[in-house]
Amino acid sequence: MPLVERVLVLASVVLVGVVFVSFYRAVLGPTPADRIVAINVIGTKAVVIITMISFAYEQKFFIDVSLVYALIAFVTTVGLAKYLEQGTLG
């Protein structure tokens, strides 16, 4: 495996470890704002991880998956923010 791909895979593994740190904050976070930011961070990291894996293994279709993930994470963020502010989704 060439050096660039090895670095990308290693960076993905490290980022997966960091996702668990954010997950810890999302589960335990004392205030709802903590949870929202933690879930946002996890979504952003997932996009980056999928893109790096797609470069490392030369699967260009994974870019589509990361685009979808970014879109769904945006909808989640809007929904959570509205629920926090108003108490309803209406």
Partner 1 sequence: MTTVIIRTTARILAPFIQLFGLYVIVHGPISPGGGFQGGVIVGASLILLALSYDLASAEARAGHAIRIAMDSTGSLLFAGIGLLSLLAGGVFMDYGIIPLPLPAAQVRALMILLIGMAIGVHIMALVSTLFLHMAEDHE
If one asks whether residue 58 binds partner 1 (CB under 8 A), the answer comes out as no
Handedness of CA 48, 37, 28, 84 (dihedral sign): negative
**Does the footprint of partner 1 cover residue 78 (CB under 8 A)?**
yes
| Residue 80 · residue 39 · CB < 8 Å | yes
Angstrom distance (rounded) from CA 85 to CA 36 = 12
Considering the rule CB under 8 A, would residue 84 count as an interface residue with partner 1? no
* Total residues in contact with partner 1, by rule CB under 8 A: 16
Span from 4-12, 19-27, 46-54, 62-70 in contact with partner 1 (CB under 8 A): 62-70
> Radius of gyration over alpha carbons of the chain, in Å?
15
Residue from 4, 7, 28, 68 touching partner 1 (CB under 8 A): that is 68
Q: Is 75 in the site for partner 1 (CB under 8 A)?
A: yes
- Are 54 and 66 in contact by the 8 Å Cβ rule? The answer is yes
- Give the residues lining the site for partner 1 (CB under 8 A): 61-62, 64-65, 67-68, 71-72, 74-75, 78-79, 82, 88-90
